[in-house]
Amino acid sequence: MRILHTMLRVSDLDKSISFYTDLLGMRLLRRKDYPGGKFTLAFLGFGDETDHTVLELTHNWEVSGYEMGNAYGHIAIGVDDVYKACDLIKSKGGQVIREAGPMKNGTTVLAFVEDPDGYKIELLQD
């Protein structure tokens, strides 16, 4: 068994795809409209779905926003250099909500960014 994907509901699919591809370096693997159900699915990742866990973005056509809820935490992504990743994300208009640096009471270097819908993405130095 393995984890196949994580799904997030997004309000503006193109804006979200741009965030995950342009700012975080994922690739759009596939995208499909479902007119009968009035939704679109887009799958993104750092590698092919046969070998990697990917992110599924779901856009329901008649919904303009979602409540975040209090159970969601974050998605973690490993990066070579958290400081450089934050600089790149900020230079492309992304929002860093916790600057790069060691975690409290520890030595792990991390940062947090936010996607267009407010989902938290943790950047961890590999």
Residues 6-32: pLDDT tens digits? 999 999 999 999 999 999 999 999 999
Q: CB neighbours (10 Å) of residue 23? A: 20
Give strand pairing partners of 40.
33, 59
- The answer to whether the 5-60 and 75-125 domains have the same CATH topology is yes
Domain ranges of the chain: 5-60, 75-125
Q: Are 44 and 57 in contact (CB under 8 A)?
A: yes
Query: In terms of CATH architecture, what is 5-60?
Result: Roll (3.10)
* pTM (two decimals): 0.90
Structure tokens at 10: 């997004």
Q: How far is CA 83 from the centre of its chain?
A: 18
Let me know if 99 is a catalytic residue. Answer: no
Q: Which of 62, 67, 99, 122 is catalytic?
A: 122
Residues 72-118: pLDDT tens digits? 899 999 999 999 999 999 999 999 999 999 998 889 999 999 999 99
3 state SS of 72: coil
CATH 3.30.930.10 holds for 75-125: no
